[in-house]
Amino acid sequence: MKKSNPLFIYDDALLRYKFHQDHPFNQQRLKMTVELLQTWGMLPDSQILAPVAATEEQLLLNHTSEYVKAVQQAGHGNPDTKEFEVFGLGTEDTPIFAGMHEASSLNVGGSILIGDKVMTGEIEHGINFAGGLHHAFPGRASGFCIYNDVSVLIHHLVREYQAKVLYIDTDAHHGDGVETSFYDSPDVMTVSIHETGRYLFPGTGFVTDRGKGSGYGYAVNIPLDAFTEDESWQDAFVQVMERVLNFFKPDVIVSQHGCDAHWFDPLTHLSITMDTYRKIPQWIHEWAHAHTDGRWIALGGGGYDIWRVVPRAWSMVWMAMNDLPVEDREMPKDWLEKWQARASVQMPASLFDREGWFKPIPRRKEIEQKNRQTVAQILRFFP
């Protein structure tokens, strides 16, 4: 039986995951991505699927009932911020907003929906860009993330389908919440490539953090130096992933597509370009067909330059997933005009970044050398 085309989770209701007007985590990027793909004729209505909110029982796969209760209460009525502080709610990173439980449950539900469709064989791949909120802990919000849809999804995949899950996190921040959820599990292998935690939030994800107990060896961290560029990033990623795929035999790949490692991103200091964001989904697509019979669930993540980076990067994930040729092209005029009117910066007119947009990094050689040493250290751990 031929499987259906990939599905894309979207509904305007997902935009309700909104802290406030000036908050850097801005889901308008979802709408921008959808409209971009629609303008290009790459996203027919038949491939769009509205999410269904996760049930409380599903949330409890990863979260404590005290925490879920706190999120519910915080989002309703007049919350006393002090009371919610222990849950990481009402902070500058994760402010309280009306209906936050409902909005967050919808994110989680979207990821589970794609997970079910992939595991039952209805589709090979699917995307929930509203998901990928990898920082949330079982009992605490962190780094803009309320519920950890990734951890809930992976718990669900393990429990319902006895699946072995390979999680690949290319966000510029360490995927600490997901790693912690499965740190002692040999059924779930987590790989996170990120800017070193020596300076950048969340401050974890070092080379020697490899899991514990029977899960030892099933967590891999690739911490890169600040100002790492495309070539060095890609070398590190591919070298480590080849060893990971040789070691772990997954049933399904879950990938997190935070795109905040780009030059333009205001929150991190990595310096990669669209070249890497074009290749990541193409590699993962190939790996899925080579190792998991095509089973691949793609999620969103960080990405705080919504004008210049996120729609371009995410549209390329969808193109790769649908086997559409990923070539440089002009951004559609109408789309550009509409969003440029609201943007605070000049939006790029092409899908790819162009020569001359970025200045050379002065310490390139040192950075590349340090990253090579990091990779060598990681590879020494493999059997």
Contact at 8 Å (CB) between 188 and 292? no
Give the 3-state secondary structure of 94-130: CCCCCCHHHHHHHHHHHHHHHHHHHHCCCECEEEECC
Q: How far is the CB of 150 from another protein (least distance, A)?
A: 16
- Which residue from 361, 364, 370, 372 is in contact with another protein, where contact means CB under 8 A? 361
- Which residue from 49, 59, 136, 200 is in contact with another protein, where contact means CB under 8 A? 200
For residue 201, state whether it binds another protein (rule: CB under 8 A): yes
Catalytic residue positions? Answer: 135
**Amino acid (one-letter) located at 283:** W
Q: How far is the CB of 133 from another protein (least distance, A)?
A: 12
For residue 231, state whether it binds another protein (rule: CB under 8 A): no
For residue 92, state whether it binds another protein (rule: CB under 8 A): yes
Distances (CA, A) of 72 to 11, 18, 104, 179: 22, 15, 10, 25
- Distance, C-alpha 160 to centroid of its chain: 23
Q: From CA 268, how far away is CA 186, in angstroms rounded?
A: 31
For residue 144, state whether it binds another protein (rule: CB under 8 A): yes
What is the distance in angstroms between the CA of the first residue and the CA of the last residue of the chain? 39
For residue 271, state whether it binds another protein (rule: CB under 8 A): yes
- Which residue from 267, 272, 288, 297 is in contact with another protein, where contact means CB under 8 A? 267
Nearer to another protein, 157 or 306 (CB): 306
For residue 69, state whether it binds another protein (rule: CB under 8 A): no
Stretch 113-142 residues interacting with another protein (CB under 8 A): 135, 142
For residue 352, state whether it binds another protein (rule: CB under 8 A): no
Q: Which residue from 232, 326, 317, 244 is spatially nearest to 287, judged by alpha carbons?
A: 244
Nearer to another protein, 126 or 348 (CB): 348
For residue 263, state whether it binds another protein (rule: CB under 8 A): yes
For residue 261, state whether it binds another protein (rule: CB under 8 A): no
Cα dihedral: 97, 102, 103, 105 (round 10):
130
Q: Which residue from 107, 81, 87, 152 is spatially nearest to 13, judged by alpha carbons?
A: 107
Specify the DSSP class assigned to residue 13: G
Give the count of residues interacting with another protein (CB under 8 A).
27
Q: How far is the CB of 295 from another protein (least distance, A)?
A: 31
Distances (CA, A) of 33 to 38, 141, 277, 309: 9, 26, 14, 10
- Which residue from 266, 325, 330, 365 is in contact with another protein, where contact means CB under 8 A? 266
DSSP output for 304-336: --TTTTHHHHHHHHHHHHTT------BPPHHHH
Interface segment toward another protein; rule CB under 8 A; list 148-156, 197-205, 245-253, 287-295: 197-205
Q: How far is the CB of 81 from another protein (least distance, A)?
A: 8
- Contact residues for another protein (CB under 8 A)? 24, 91-93, 135, 142-144, 173, 198-204, 227, 263-264, 266-267, 269, 271, 357-359, 361
